[in-house]
Amino acid sequence: MTNRTKKKKKVIKKKVFRHIVYFLFILSLFTLGTLLFLNVLPTVYFALLGILIVALDCLITYFLLGKGTKKRLFGILLTIVIIILQGFIVFYSIHTLDFLKKINGQDYNTENYNIIALKNSNYDKLKDLKEEDIGFIESDDDQGIQEAKKYLNKKVKMNFVSYNDLADLYKAFINEDIEAILIEDAEKSILEEDYEDFLQEEKIVYTFSINLKLNDSLAKEVDIIKSPFNIYISGIDTYGRVTSVSRSDVNMVVSIHPESHKMLFTSIPRDYYVPLHGINTTYKDKLTHAGIHGVDTSLHTIEDLLDIDINYYAKVNFTSLIAIVDELGGIEVNTDEAFRAYYVEDTGVVNYSFKKGTNKLNGKQALAYSRERKSLPGGDVDRVKHQQQVLEAIIHKVLSKSILTKYSDILKALEDKVVTNMGTKNITKFVKEQLKNMSTWEIDTNTLSGEGAMEYTYSYKNAKSYVMIPDTDSVNEAKMKIKNLTNE
């Protein structure tokens, strides 16, 4: 090999190494810029990481552009390691931003409608119901049903017959006064719960969904690092899309005082007998039925009950709970009573037994544990206590250092399974503060109580249903506890 050839190779190598150094500096700037935009790292951590990256870049430059084969080889190996590490940082940052974008800004409710005929009828397709009588429930909050009728009329012309009550609609359906019914999923669930025969009689002919924009964002913004705030947790009794309108089986207000690191869980039984906000009627209803009219109705109804402002909400469903518990590697809860519960799978019903004392739960077990009430001595009151235990166990795990190893998997598991109106900036600000202090939180719980009764409800006007009449002292105590925490 001639000297000229050797010199040419050296020049080419230097150019290659120089371009590697340029690339590394650009990647470092992009990595730090992404982290800065995400804004979850405390300033001290960000500064230290920045210094470390710059120092490594300078060290790599020294090895790659200096003399000596061994130095360059070490520089190449170090470059590969740094590129992989920074690639992970960029991936996690972009993944987080994408997740936060998905759970925010969904300012609509999804109403899922069904056209149902009798199982022994000849109506198998939507077109079979042309010009036939279709029953539906007329209500004060009728935007969804009106949009649903418009949607169907574009498909097939039908004669819509209105009823004021589910019991009347069911009676007309069974007596064949109408050929089919147009009913939303949540109303369908009520019929299936109250009429066992309905499950055997129904035949779903057609299903579709309507998205309805919320009137406002519902958020009452505060500085969540300095000011106390309330979050409404709504757990709806469905799988799949969390935007779906459905009965809210879990109704919990989480009051947070960020400076004293205290939380208060206030749970309200699903059957609490309350006036529904914005529904002009002499009838009260079960709190769970507020969810049929959207998360905004549930939130405002609880604000009315507890005389508080709810700053934000988070809406989850069965799928959400299963996913996060499984990704966390399970949770531990402690129960005072041994009891059995079940989980319904496509292949059938799975029964679970929970012992007195500590139980480790996977996702499906956590859902069964949270939903069971019939085998518990305190019924619905015990159920909401179990819901509080599950949420508390999840929070403790999420706020622990062990979350870092499961971070990406948890975000992936929760995509499309949780929605909130707390803005991205507030969420990242809260995470940043937690990473800065790694504080432990003091969590207190409270459950509203009442007395069981049979009453007429707005959703079911012509037949009495089981409800829980609020205990005034219990409600006043809840108001005081929230006020005391938020005014500390």
| CATH code that applies to domain 108-213 | 3.40.190.10
Q: What is the mean pLDDT of residues 155-179?
A: 90
Q: What is the pTM of this model?
A: 0.77
Percent of the chain with pLDDT over 90: 30
Is the confidence at residue 30, as pLDDT, over 70?
yes
Residue-wise pLDDT tens digits, 289-320: 998 888 888 999 999 999 999 999 988 877 77
- Residue closest to 250 by CA, chosen among 306, 288, 302, 193: 288
Beta carbons of 479 and 307 less than 8 angstroms apart = yes
229-486, superfamily in CATH?
A: LCP protein (3.40.630.190)
Amino acid at 474: S
Mean pLDDT in the chain? 84
DSSP 347: T
Does 405 score more than 90 pLDDT?
no
* Neighbouring residues of 78: CB distance < 8 A, sequence distance ≥ 6: 56, 59, 60, 63
What are the pLDDT digits (tens) for 436-454? 777 788 889 899 999 999 9
Phi and psi angles of residue 311, each rounded to the nearest 5 degrees, phi first:
-80, -40
pLDDT band, very low/low/confident/very high, at 91 (cuts 50, 70, 90) = confident
Residue 88: CB partners within 8 Å, gap ≥ 6? none
**Contact (CB, 8 A) for 364 and 347:** no
- What is the per-residue pLDDT for 451? 93
pLDDT score recorded for residue 9: 64
Which residues fall within 8 angstroms of residue 403, CB to CB, at 6 or more apart? 328, 397, 410
pLDDT at 171 over 80: yes
Structural tokens at position 140? 């004060």
- pLDDT, position 358: 92
State how far the Cα of 436 lies from the Cα of 430, in Å rounded to an integer.
10
